[in-house]
């Protein structure tokens, strides 16, 4: 799974430096492929994304270093948004019921909802509104 933390900071450089400092500790606790991004449409809106094997692993790491990270990054007391992202292919496998007819050799799929080609390509899904903004890697974090 991918965990995305989003917060609006006044000092992006400080956030990036702190993220770099904590990266080895987070990796020891199970984080992989951690990166910092800054929203190109809203300067100061940063996102830290990394892969984890489980919620428990991620929560244990957050409990261990979260307060210290926030103090050093200048994010103490700020409102963070957290997104837990699972591979869409996993969701699709769970939602689709595959029926293989051995007699006819045909494969039929019955989705329980609307999975049109447009929504599969990432257009706005019903009830979610249009996509807004975009994230780009923070060049300072790339070295």
Summarised one tens digit per residue, pLDDT across range 106-131 is: 444 444 444 444 433 344 444 444 44
Residue 139: predicted pLDDT: 54
- Tell me which fold the domain 2-86+133-142 belongs to: Alpha-Beta Plaits (3.30.70)
Question: Of residues 87 and 128, which shows the higher confidence score?
Answer: 87
In the structure, what pLDDT confidence band is assigned to residue 38 with cuts at 50, 70 and 90?
A: very high
Residue 87: predicted pLDDT: 86
Summarised one tens digit per residue, pLDDT across range 40-65 is: 999 999 999 999 999 899 999 999 99
Rounded to 5°, the CA angle 30-74-9 comes to 95
Where in the sequence of the chain do the CATH 3.30.70.100 domains occur? 2-86+133-142
Using CA atoms, how far residue 133 sits from 40, 41, 130, 136, 137, in Å, is 7, 6, 10, 10, 14
């Amino acid at each position: 799974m991918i965990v995305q933390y989003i917060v609006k900071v006044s000092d992006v450089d400080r956030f990036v430096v702190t993220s770099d400092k904590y990266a080895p500790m987070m990796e020891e606790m199970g984080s992989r492929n951690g990166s910092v991004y800054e929203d190109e449409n809203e300067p100061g809106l940063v996102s830290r994304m990394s892969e984890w094997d489980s919620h428990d692993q991620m929560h244990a790491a957050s409990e261990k270093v979260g307060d210290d990270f926030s103090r050093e990054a200048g994010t103490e007391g700020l409102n963070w948004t957290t997104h837990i992202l699972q591979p869409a292919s996993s969701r699709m496998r769970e939602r689709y019921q595959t029926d293989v007819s051995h007699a006819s050799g045909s494969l039929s799929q019955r989705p329980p909802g609307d999975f049109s080609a447009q929504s599969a390509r990432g257009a706005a899904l019903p009830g979610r509104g249009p996509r807004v903004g975009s994230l780009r890697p923070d060049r300072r974090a790339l070295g």
